[in-house]
Structure 1
Amino acid sequence: MPTGTTRRTTAEPAATEASVVYIVDDDTGIRLSLGALMRSIGLRVEAFESPDEFLRCPPAAGPSCLILDVRLRGKSGMAFHEEIVNRGMRIPVVFMTGHGDIEMVVKAMKTGAQDFFAKPFKDQDMLDAVAQALARDNERLAAEAALADLRASYQSLSPREKEVMGFVLSGLLNKQIASEMNVREITVKVHRGQVMRKMSARSMPDLVRKAESLGIEPSLSRGAHR
């Protein structure tokens, strides 16, 4: 069970309704005490007796983390963690156990666990771990949102603009691209400007980085096939 007093540190998350801490433990006392601890700093809490109950809960839209007991009735926390990883759920997990050992800790960390606590643990240690987990999840969500915006920007390009972008990424000059596409150079210049604007690219290196993020390869010129 949690022990010790709670003190505020800069590592604690700011109170936000968007952040959710999930707790899965078949011990009612642990669920209640951990829930009270998290709510004391303004976090929303959803507590469950079993993994199946957790899976029936709609996923949070904002940052979240899961505090998971290793030993559960019917299914081990370690096995459940592997299951949610295989399902593609990227929620940070903080393990807790009254029967941990070094081998178990190493296995948990290798499968992506955020932290691992032996019971009893200090309140502040758990709060700090949850803060780090929520910050990590917030960064993940921000990165996913940025990538989704980038995909939308690319899809807003016309077929011609996408074609020009491919040649631009290969390092061809406007004159060379015009020859490849059998169009006027001014046409290429206009399309190139549209590509930079729609992709919000500040420079060529910036456009290249964005293309790499999307997995877009440079187009080969006809000369490259010879």
Structure 2
Amino acid sequence: MRTGIKRLLRVHGFHSKLFESASALLCHEDFGEALCFILDINLNGESGIALCRSLSEKGVRLPVIYITGNDSEANRAAAIASGCIAYLTKPFAAPSLIESIEKARAAAA
């Protein structure tokens, strides 16, 4: 999924960086060029929403687009409460993701 998203973003002119784990993202320090985060709700036993909170606690505040294959009212409510700019359920249409990233770009301008 990550590789497919990276290819989609490249086709639309976006540069992306993939992270192997939540801890790898938390250890990363240079978010200067980033428009947003695209996070899965479920990260191999970890929570994308908790990861977003941890990033925010470190002072990293970027728009978040959540994706999930496990849609539920609880996940949706928690994602919205965390302030995400989009919540996409798998499978989602490519334009939905691109539109969400464009929304993040517009907010940054």
Query: Common fold, TM-score beyond 0.5?
Result: yes
The CA distance in 1 between the partners of 2:55 and 2:32, in whole Å, is 17
Identify the match of residue 81 of structure 1 among 20, 37, 52. Answer: 52
Please state how far the C-alpha of 1:88 moved relative to its aligned partner.
2.3
Please state how far the C-alpha of 1:63 moved relative to its aligned partner.
4.5
Relative to 1, partners in 2 of residues 1:58 and 1:88: Cα closer, same or farther, differing over 3 Å? closer
> Match of 2:62?
91
Deviations 1:157-205 (A, max 9, x none): xxxxxxxxxxxxxxxxxxxxxxxxxxxxxxxxxxxxxxxxxxxxxxxxx
Please state how far the C-alpha of 1:53 moved relative to its aligned partner.
1.2
The CA distance in 2 between the partners of 1:61 and 1:113, in whole Å, is 19
Please state how far the C-alpha of 1:101 moved relative to its aligned partner.
1.2
Aligned length: 109
- The answer to whether 1:40 aligns with 2:2 is no
Relative to 1, partners in 2 of residues 1:125 and 1:70: Cα closer, same or farther, differing over 3 Å? same
Deviations 1:66-119 (A, max 9, x none): 100011124211211121222221111100010011222122111111110110
Task: List, as ranges, runs of 4+ consecutive aligned residues in structure 1 with deviation greater than 4 Å.
Answer: none
| DSSP 3-state at the match of 1:47 | coil
TM-score (norm 1): 0.45
**Structure with the larger RCO, 1 or 2 (CA within 8 Å, 6+ apart):** 2
Matching of residues 44-83 of structure 1 within 5 Å: 44-83=15-54
Counting aligned pairs with the same residue, the percent is 28
TM-score (norm 2): 0.89
Q: Runs of 5+ in structure 1 lacking a partner?
A: 1-29, 140-226
Matching of residues 9-20 of structure 1 within 5 Å: none
The CA distance in 1 between the partners of 2:42 and 2:95, in whole Å, is 23
Q: Which has the larger radius of gyration?
A: 1
Please state how far the C-alpha of 1:35 moved relative to its aligned partner.
0.1
The CA distance in 1 between the partners of 2:90 and 2:42, in whole Å, is 12
More helix, by proportion: 1
The CA distance in 1 between the partners of 2:6 and 2:105, in whole Å, is 16
| DSSP 3-state at the match of 2:87 | strand
